[in-house]
Amino acid sequence: MEGLFQRAASLSLTTKFAFAVLGILVTYAAVRLLEKTLPRHFGQGDVRYRVRKFVAFAGYALVLLFVALLFADRLGRVSLALGVAGAGVVVALQDVIASFGGWVAIGFSRLYAVGDRIQIGDTKGDVIDISILRTTILEIGDWVSKDLYNGRVARIPNNSVLKGPVFNYSQGFRFVWDEIKVPLTSQSDYRLAREMLLRVTDETVASFLAEAKHAWRHVTDNYRIENPRLEPTVALAVNGGCFEFTVSYIVDYRERTVMKDRLFTKVAEEITKSNGRLDWALSSAAVPKSSATAEVAP
């Protein structure tokens, strides 16, 4: 090893730069080759992703080590210059340094991981990559339904996690409470409606309840929190002279849109089979002007 240091120190500065460029190019080519070929030997997508990230970080570390060994004899001479320029570099790269600090916070605080569904600011989606400076998210919502991909890829600086809240839909308890509203006419049988809505919702979300209860026990092991009601509930309110039922239920965060479709489909079938005992209430926008309450002239 000592002989290797002596040989590196005996090289001219131009030769060292040439070797540095050559070493970086060779390492880059090797890393790209390994990133394409090595993950193919692993079946799970998450493992393949971790292998690619490990190869990339190993490449960075190898380049830094090679350059440090190559210029070891000159590092002492440039340390003073680096110290003088350090303050200016910190100011100029403060966002980069803050993003690196955010990356450290993400890893050590386990704010989120690849595959989690999160929301940072107004951006919501599934994490598909976490680099040193940025988190890459496959976005959901906006001009499409709330839990469907819209096709955009958002890259958010990691320092964003240090400036505001981070919402994680996947960590610990991956279920959310959702609701639908069912408006019925005031002539509808509200007792029958309540029984029907509870029955339909119980049947539809039954596959989630057992898993949700098990997941909630894990949450209570780590946090001081009371046990909420996980079974579906139905609340009745009178709105505009009509019955408005609010059906609340628990659902996997990935299946909110699918669950609403299932519930409304079954509710519509039940109302059709009720022989007039249940009837949809028209929204105010659908009521003809002739049937609206007329304004009394002074």
Q: What is the CATH number of the domain that holds 141?
A: 2.30.30.60
Which of 73-87, 137-151, 197-211 is least confident? Answer: 73-87
Residues 109 and 34 in one domain: no
CA distance to 92, 113, 159, 173, 270, per residue, from 105 (Å): 22, 12, 9, 21, 51
Tens-digit pLDDT profile for residues 196-209: 999 999 988 888 88
Q: pLDDT at position 130, please?
A: 87
Residues 180 and 162 in one domain: no
pTM over 0.85: no
Residues 115 and 58 in one domain: no
Residue 84 lies in a domain: no
Residues 59 and 127 in one domain: no
Residue 196 lies in a domain: yes
Q: Is 225 or 78 the better-scoring residue by pLDDT?
A: 225
Q: pLDDT at position 209, please?
A: 82
Q: pLDDT at position 193, please?
A: 92
Residue 88 lies in a domain: no
Residues 218 and 269 in one domain: yes
> Containing domain of residue 219, as a range?
175-284
Residue 140, pLDDT > 60, answer yes
205 with 259: CB under 8 angstroms?
Answer: yes
Residue 298, pLDDT > 50, answer no
Q: For residues 209 and 192, give the distance between their C-alpha atoms in angstroms, rounded to a whole number.
A: 24
Q: For residues 206 and 67, give the distance between their C-alpha atoms in angstroms, rounded to a whole number.
A: 60
Residues 218 and 126 in one domain: no
In degrees rounded to 5, what are phi and psi of residue 147? Answer: -115, 25
Residue 268 lies in a domain: yes
Residues 179 and 275 in one domain: yes
pLDDT band at 213 (very low <50, low <70, confident <90, very high): confident
Domain total in the chain: 3
Side-chain-side CA neighbours of residue 129 (13 Å)? 17
From the list 121, 194, 128, the residue with the least C-alpha distance to 164 is 121
Residue 137, pLDDT > 80, answer yes
Q: pLDDT at position 191, please?
A: 92
Q: Where are the strands (E) in 133-289, listed by range?
A: 134-140, 149-157, 166-168, 175-184, 233-239, 242-252
Residue 72, pLDDT > 90, answer no
Here the tokens at position 111 are: 């704010």
Which of 44-53, 248-257, 281-290 is least confident? Answer: 281-290
Residues 66 and 114 in one domain: no
β-sheet bridge partners, residue 135: 130, 156
Residue 298 lies in a domain: no
* Pairing outcome for strands 117-120 and 166-168: antiparallel
Tens-digit pLDDT profile for residues 84-135: 555 555 556 677 778 888 888 888 878 888 888 889 888 888 898 888 888 8
Residue 291, pLDDT > 50, answer no
Q: Is 160 or 221 the better-scoring residue by pLDDT?
A: 160
Residue 90 lies in a domain: no
Residue 67 lies in a domain: yes
Q: Is 144 or 285 the better-scoring residue by pLDDT?
A: 144
Residues 279 and 208 in one domain: yes
Tens-digit pLDDT profile for residues 222-242: 666 777 788 899 999 998 889
Q: pLDDT at position 57, please?
A: 74
Residue 152, pLDDT > 80, answer yes
Q: Which of 168, 183, 203 is the last residue of a domain?
A: 168
Residue 100 lies in a domain: no
Residues 279 and 180 in one domain: yes
Buried b or exposed e, range 3-40, using 16+ CB within 10 angstroms: eeeeebeeeeeeebeeeeeebeeebeeebeebbeeebe
Could you tell me the CATH number of the domain that includes residue 231? 3.30.70.100
